[in-house]
Amino acid sequence: LSRAFHKANEFDGVISLYDTKSIKGAYGAMVVDPVIKRIPKTEIQREQLRKEIRQNELAYKLVVSEDFSKTVIILKVASGITDEQVVHTIKRTLHEFPGSETVYKGGTVYLRVQVNSDISRDMLILMPLGMLIMILFLLLSFREWKSVALPFLVVAMSIVISLGFFPLMGWELSIITILAPIMMIAIANNYGVHFIARYQELNAANPQWSMKEITKNVLYHLKKPVIITGLTTIAGILGLVVHILLPAKRLGIAASLGIAFALLLSISFIPAMMATMKKGKALKSLTQEKAGIIEKGLSRLAKLSTNRPIVILFVFGSFLLLAGAGIVHLQVDSNSENFLPSKHPFRQATSIVNEDFGGTKYLTVLFEGDMKDPKLLQRLDHYETELKKNPSVGSVMSIASILKIMSRAINDKGDEFYDKIPDTREAVAQYIELYSMSGEPEDFDDLVNFDYTQALLIVQFRADSKNALDNVIDEIDRLTVDDPNRSIIGGYCLVDKELAEAVVHGQYNSLLFAILIIALLLVLIFRSFVSGLLGSLPLLFTVITLFGTMGWLGIKLDIGTAMLSSIAIGIGVDYTIHFFWRYRYELGSGKSHEEAIATTLTTTGRGITINAFSVMLGFVILFVSSFLTIKYFAFLIIFSVLLCLLCALILIPALCLLIKPKFLEKKP
């Protein structure tokens, strides 16, 4: 396999047990040989080889595991080669040289290929499954096909708009942006659901009305609240536009565009179609004959809100404090390997490398100057020694460590220069010259350039959390920051560090933007500063509880879960606005606060409940996603929508009864 990979044009270099060198001394000379000169045939020969490998720090625990049960082949991809070409070459080579051993494949190339493959799989499975679940739920809720068909058509057209925007703008789908069609399934039918629920309510209360009369009444009473809730949802999701991550920005734009189109269809297409359709039979659950489960539940909630508002505030406040305390345990995760489930072959490969081969993370520090200068080499040796004390660090390598190996090869234990960097530049040059007599000068190409003016300090480590990553990076920076020869620090894990910081900052920015915009819209809509505060309370309750719950459950904030707040706020504010609108209407018709709450919850509350469960079911399908972060996202979105629903049906009515806000006593 090693020889085949060396011949392949896709790779610039190969590191394996067969490529590793053994540096020894013999009769005062330096002897450089391959670790494996010949294949051992007897157990005695195999044991002798194991003994030699244990003594070789260039091989032991780097390309061969401590128990000799595993080995690695490290491939360096040539420039201009695509991920697909690399994977194809590896697959072809393994097929040409089959064996009984288990082969694990890892690395960023395989991760990217696997992610792209799983994105395609998710798109093929999640969209049809989501549409099917939505149809079944709407059918169970409304019990007539035309009440299902209209919201379904709106969702289908919204998906076309949101997904069509990606190729139009030249954007690629990513782990984040595959959420766009699922968001359309979950959110785009919201406005149509309220129209259908109100139509069924009027049909049951006024059986003599024609379909046109019902449609006219529905449009008159719901047009404004639907437009307002649509705008606040768009405002919340547009909070992603100020996110630092580019895919999150794109999702915010595409999803907002799709929702805007769904809103337009809901106030034009759905009423137009309703007016031309034949009126269905009135549902018994909406008449006095037989109340349904939803209607009974809402009636009980109305009694609870009007009879025990203080108790409700105490329960919600206590829950907020308990859940919110978990925020101190919330961690940030930028490790892209964690996108996949723990049992995925890629994650298993990563785990093996972390446990047996020093880790999957690399940091490289570039030093510029005279790389044969003993003082500079001694500093490199000092950095290596200090970094190896860090429990997360698996190995540290530089030209200094190679020179110390050479010193042990040509000096005996107890000698003055044994296991030390030579004291003079001439002695360093002599070591290198001795090596070149039996070794290849290009053996050090990964550590130092040809004229010895630049050298690399390569740190290999394991880091499964942001704290572990920061710890190693900060340690390297602390040790080398004042070194006059240090040039730059590089490594893909620096991207992970920047990504983690971007996740946190992006979360703050999008959350602040969404809440401020929605509060401002509420103030403008209801012409009251109190409306902005009261309408924002369920959102703040949900966000604090959500992040606290993540902390308690150990769910980390990553690029998937970092979008939660904007989406949850955009969805959840709808329920409060619909409650405000109907509650104000009932107060304006002469009802008391208690009667207005009861009527609002048993009428508009039905549409809110169906709407919320429709959204939750829409996101349930994400549990079959290939990506762990998307599954967490689904759970947390469902949880947040449930919290917003409970706030709209229980907390807000209790608050309205206690403070009796003046802006809700004005006629709409």
Look up the CATH number of the domain holding residue 520.
Answer: 1.20.1640.10
Is residue 355 situated within a structural domain? no
What integer is the mean pLDDT of 301-312?
Answer: 90
Gap between the Cα atoms of 314 and 300, Å rounded: 19
Res 399: pLDDT:
94
Predicted local confidence at residue 667, as pLDDT: 60
Instruction: Supply 501's token pair.
Output: 């910081």
Residues 308-350: pLDDT tens digits? 999 999 999 999 999 999 999 988 776 777 777 778 888 888 8
Asked if residue 387 lies in contact with residue 476, where contact means CB atoms within 8 angstroms, the answer is yes
Contact 184, 233 (CB under 8 A): no
Which residues have a Cβ under 8 Å from the Cβ of 271 and sit 6 or more positions away? Answer: 195, 215, 218, 219
Side-chain-facing half-sphere of 23: CA atoms under 13 Å: 23
> What pLDDT shows up at residue 370?
94
Q: Is the pLDDT confidence value at 501 over 60?
A: yes
Asked if 380 and 393 count as a contact pair (C-beta separation under 8 A), the reply is: no
284 band by pLDDT with thresholds 50, 70 and 90? low
The pLDDT tens digits of the residues spanning 246-282 come to 888 888 899 999 999 999 999 999 889 988 888 777 6
Residue 62 lies in a domain: yes
Domain boundary among 47, 69, 100: 100
Place of tokens 């079959």: 624
Q: Does one domain contain both 58 and 138?
A: no
Q: Are 482 and 611 part of one and the same domain?
A: no
- The whole-number pLDDT of residue 324 equals 92
Q: pLDDT category, 568, cuts 50, 70, 90?
A: confident
**Mean model confidence pLDDT for the chain:** 86
Three-class SS state of 361: strand
Phi/psi at 455 (5° precision)? -145, 155
77-129 pLDDT per residue, tens: 888 888 889 999 999 999 999 888 899 998 888 888 888 888 778 878 888 88
Read off φ and ψ for residue 458, nearest 5 degrees: -105, 120
Neighbours of 19 (CB within 10 A): 19
Among the listed residues 264, 200, 258, 195, the one whose alpha carbon sits nearest the alpha carbon of residue 227: 264
Least confident stretch, 20-29, 98-107, 253-262, 549-558: 20-29
Sign of CA dihedral 523, 529, 533, 535: negative
309-317: list long-range contacts, CB under 8 Å, 24+ apart.
309/653, 309/654, 309/655, 309/657, 309/658, 310/658, 312/650, 312/651, 312/654, 313/651, 313/654, 313/655, 313/658, 316/541, 316/647, 316/650, 316/651
Same domain? For 399 and 512 the reply is no
Q: Is the pLDDT of residue 465 over 80?
A: no
Judgement on whether residues 169 and 84 belong to the same structural domain of the protein:
no
534 in the same domain as 395: no
| Cβ-based burial of 199 (10 A; exposed 0-12, middle 13-18, buried ≥19) | buried
Which contacts of 617-621 are long-range, i.e. CB under 8 A and separated by 24 or more positions?
A: 617/133, 617/134, 617/137, 617/186, 618/130, 618/133, 618/134, 618/182, 618/185, 618/186, 618/187, 619/182, 619/186, 620/133, 621/126, 621/129, 621/130, 621/133, 621/182, 621/185
Q: pTM value?
A: 0.77
Asked if residue 118 belongs to a domain, the reply is yes
The string of DSSP letters for 159-172 reads HHHHHHHHHHHTPP
Give the pLDDT of residue 626: 80
How many whole angstroms separate alpha carbon 648 and alpha carbon 575? 6
- Distance (Å, whole) CA 405 – CA 56: 9
User: How many C-beta atoms surround the C-beta of residue 508 within 10 A?
Assistant: 15
Instruction: Determine which of 70-79, 200-209, 312-321, 354-363 has the lowest per-residue pLDDT on average.
Output: 200-209
- Give yes or no: residues 130 and 164 share one domain: yes
**Cβ atoms 537, 503 nearer than 8 A:** no
* Selection from 563, 534, 533, 521 nearest residue 546 by Cα: 563
In this structure, the answer to whether residues 146 and 271 fall within a common structural domain is yes
Around Cβ 501, how many Cβ atoms within 10 Å? 15
pLDDT one-digit tens code per residue, 132-156: 888 888 888 787 888 888 888 998 9
> At residue 289, does pLDDT exceed 60?
no
Full domain range(s) for residue 397: 360-491
Name the amino acid, one letter, at 272: A
31-45, 82-96, 113-127, 523-537: segment of lowest average pLDDT: 113-127
Low-confidence winner among 11-20, 281-290, 585-594, 624-633 (lowest mean pLDDT): 281-290
Residue 37 inside a domain? The answer is: yes
Residue ending a domain, choose from 46, 75, 100: 100
Do 83 and 132 lie in a common domain?
no
Give dist(CA 578, CA 224) in Å, integer. 10
Contact of 264 with 187, CB cutoff 8 Å: no
| Number of structural domains found in the chain | 3
pLDDT above 70 (res 666):
no
pLDDT reading at 417 higher than 80: yes
CA proximity to 62, closest of 5, 19, 30: 19
Q: Spell out the residues 6+ positions from residue 443 whose beta carbon is closer than 8 angstroms to its own.
A: 21, 32, 435
- Do residues 142 and 196 lie in contact, with contact meaning Cβ atoms separated by under 8 Å? yes
Give the C-alpha separation, 412 to 396, whole Å: 24
Same domain? 91 vs 201? no
Residue 456: inside a domain: yes
In sequence order, the 6+-apart residues with CB closer than 8 A to the CB of 563 are 176, 179, 240, 243, 248, 251, 510, 633
Identify whether residues 196 and 315 lie together within a single domain.
Answer: yes
pLDDT digits (tens, 9 = 90+) for 418-441: 889 999 999 999 999 988 888 887
Whether residue 657 sits in one domain with residue 521: yes
Same domain, 93 and 122: no
Measured torsion, CA atoms of residues 141, 147, 149, 153, in degrees rounded to the nearest 10: -100
What are the φ and ψ backbone dihedral angles of 397, each rounded to 5 degrees?
-135, 140
Q: Is the pLDDT of residue 291 over 70?
A: no
pLDDT class for 283, splitting at 50, 70, 90?
A: low
Is 530 contained in some domain?
yes
Structural domain includes residue 338? no
The pLDDT of residue 607 is: 82
Tokens 């919204």 sit on residue: 158
Instruction: Please report, rounded to a whole number, the percentage of residues in the chain having pLDDT higher than 70.
Output: 97
CA 336 to chain centre: 8
Q: Which two tokens stand for residue 172?
A: 């690629």
DSSP assignment of 487-534: EEEE-HHHHHHHHHHHHHHHHHHHHHHHHHHHHHHHHHHHT-HHHHHH
In a domain, 350, yes or no: no
Query: Which residue among 37, 70, 100 closes a domain?
Result: 100
